[in-house]
Structure 1
Amino acid sequence: MAPKPSHIPEGALEAARAAAIEGGKLALSFFRHGAATSADVSYKDGGSPVTEADLAVDRFLKARLMDLAPHFGWLSEETADDPSRLDRRHVWVVDPIDGTRSFARGDTDWTIALGLVEDGIAVAGFVYAPVQDVMYEALPGGPALRNGAPIRASGHGAIAQARIAGPGPILDAMEAARTPFRRMPRIHSLAYRLVHVADGSVDGALASGKAHDWDLAAAHAIVTAAGAVIETPSGVSPTYNRTSTMHEPIAVAGAALAGDLARLLSAGPIARAAGHKDAIAGL
């Protein structure tokens, strides 16, 4: 087998940033604030929606990004998986519209999520919120940025009074267990939820065990650059470009808080609410 190329073409990441914004503008052409999208809507197996806009943005981003770096792999929610990505050192990992349900009903908390994975690690990411015209980003070795300004996670170190965003069933279970946190409004785009940890507007974020590479990779690069971590109930950080794209439940925060939240997700009713496959009944 030929060696895996290691070169990131000069200017590729800057062009990817521009492509994410252009993809957002394309999605906005189908968006109706407070009303149903003008795009045709269909449903995948399992009932998840996909719109004409998702597919249009996916085609645009794939053409643009693969032209920038033809030797990179490609993984997207809306493209049939090509196992050849597993042989590539670098892989674009894309969700053309993260938060499709929100987009389709006219809510504003959806994003374009575009990440670059190197040897399984998220090394660069762009999470663009088109309605707000807000870009979160991180490049290899650089700081996390929000519209060009450096951002940093809050570093809140304990669950007590921590501002936590996450799926309703998980937060309901935490409240039922009398966990002393501050519940934040639901942010439907998972990538958008995670980058709110990066800018310090929430202290921690949670996701159930249904997230895929394309939901996490772009935001993972950004939250890491902002001084936060992503931790699973197994005590590890997610890696990407594996055969399976699905992940365990995750907690995102500064290291101490993320560890405490990940332990909450590992057992009992909170773990069951998060869909953790190894939840321990009765604990």
Structure 2
Amino acid sequence: MPDDLDLLTAAAHEAGKIALEFWRREPQIWEKDAGAGPVTEADLAVNDYLAHTLLGARQDYGWLSEESTDDPARLDAARCFIIDPIDGTRAFIDGQEGFSHSLAVAQGERITAAVVYLPAMGLTYTARSGQPALLNGKEIRVRDASLDDADILASKAVMDPANWRDGQVPGFRRSFRPSLAWRLCLVAEGRFDATLSPRSTWEWDIAAGSLIAECAGATVTDMHGGPMRFNSARALVDGMVIAAPPLHATIQQRLALQPRI
């Protein structure tokens, strides 16, 4: 029987094949309720495949996915899959390459195995708890920088002065990528210095990437500097700060005491 990471990796690669069958081919699109964004027939096809494959292999695991109705039984499971079938759906719809499949296993509140796969770019990020993070089989590491010189992946919300002490936004450069999971991985491989979110983030967006970043040497916390906890009843984390330890410490010092969540 494959271990959890091998299982996730094989499933992610098959999911990529499914997604690419719809990519740039005008898939059907629906808008979710309450302004939750678009979903395509590709998201649903990938989700169905992953649920069938992963739960078929691990019938005692819980299941948390952006595209599945939440089953509270997952809270009682010792281990739980946390899945975003397609992270960056808007990029997928637009025909951009920067969408990913984000697959993770939580044991209790902690992520123990993780894969983020970008099929259009041929990028496979993987991590096992306590081992180095890998990109296409090669070890990756975070890089450090001063805050004012840092290149940080974040949405426009991070530039709100209310998120920073004394309303002073540091002089870092803000960059953006459509897949939140990929942002964490780009920090893990040292292509960017940090990623931030002052707003609550869904677990399925960051579960896999959080372990990959951690195994690459990043400090990974919520916006208050606390540990991320997964498979929670709300399925939300109170924002995130992910960076090499010295830069992470500086960011936490400069953030407002009560950041806007």
Q: Shift of residue 261 of structure 1?
A: 2.3
Residues 61 and 78, structure 2, Cα contact 8 Å, conserved in 1: yes
Write out the 4+ residue segments of structure 1 that deviate beyond 3 Å after TM superposition.
Answer: 9-12, 171-178, 262-268
Query: 2: distance between equivalents of 1:146 and 1:20?
Result: 14
Q: Shift of residue 266 of structure 1?
A: 3.3
Q: Shift of residue 91 of structure 1?
A: 0.5
* Greater share of strand: 2
Query: Between the two proteins, what is the percent identity of the paired residues?
Result: 35
The aligned residue for residue 88 of structure 1 is: 77
The aligned residue for residue 195 of structure 1 is: 185
Greater relative contact order, per chain length (Cα 8 Å cut-off, separation 6+):
2
Query: 2: distance between equivalents of 1:11 and 1:40?
Result: 35
Task: State the TM-score, normalizing by the size of structure 1.
Answer: 0.85
Structure 1: runs of 5+ lacking an equivalent: 1-8, 278-283
Does the alignment pair 1:239 with 2:225?
no
Residues 4 and 105, structure 2, Cα contact 8 Å, conserved in 1: no
Match of 1:170 among 145, 158, 179: 158
Match of 1:107 among 96, 100, 109: 96
| Structure-2 change in CA distance of 1:214 and 1:109 (3 Å) | same
Residues 231 and 262, structure 1, Cα contact 8 Å, conserved in 2: no
Residues 197 and 223, structure 1, Cα contact 8 Å, conserved in 2: yes
Q: Shift of residue 267 of structure 1?
A: 4.9
Q: Shift of residue 183 of structure 1?
A: 2.7
Does the alignment pair 1:227 with 2:217?
yes
Does the alignment pair 1:152 with 2:141?
yes
Structure 2: runs of 5+ lacking an equivalent: none
Query: 1: distance between equivalents of 2:224 and 2:212?
Result: 22
Residues 233 and 266, structure 1, Cα contact 8 Å, conserved in 2: no
Does the alignment pair 1:13 with 2:5?
yes
The aligned residue for residue 5 of structure 1 is: none
| Structure-2 change in CA distance of 1:160 and 1:96 (3 Å) | same
Match of 1:179 among 170, 177, 196: 170
Residues 190 and 207, structure 1, Cα contact 8 Å, conserved in 2: no
The aligned residue for residue 79 of structure 1 is: 68
* Amino acid of the structure 1 residue aligned with 2:70: D
Match of 2:117 among 105, 121, 128: 128
Query: 2: distance between equivalents of 1:57 and 1:208?
Result: 29
User: Deviations for 1:63-119, whole angstroms, at most 9, x for unmatched residues?
Assistant: 110111111111000000010100111111000000111111112211000011111
The aligned residue for residue 26 of structure 1 is: 18
Q: Shift of residue 254 of structure 1?
A: 1.2
Residues 73 and 84, structure 1, Cα contact 8 Å, conserved in 2: yes
Greater Cα shift, 81-90 or 246-255: 246-255
Query: 2: distance between equivalents of 1:150 and 1:227?
Result: 11
Task: State the TM-score, normalizing by the size of structure 2.
Answer: 0.92
The aligned residue for residue 32 of structure 2 is: 44
Greater Cα shift, 78-87 or 98-107: 98-107
* Amino acid of the structure 2 residue aligned with 1:167: S
Match of 1:117 among 106, 112, 122: 106
| Structure-2 change in CA distance of 1:233 and 1:140 (3 Å) | closer
| Structure-2 change in CA distance of 1:122 and 1:183 (3 Å) | same
Query: 1: distance between equivalents of 2:160 and 2:6?
Result: 41
Q: Shift of residue 182 of structure 1?
A: 2.5
Query: 1: distance between equivalents of 2:191 and 2:173?
Result: 12
Residues 160 and 169, structure 2, Cα contact 8 Å, conserved in 1: no
Query: 2: distance between equivalents of 1:266 and 1:91?
Result: 34
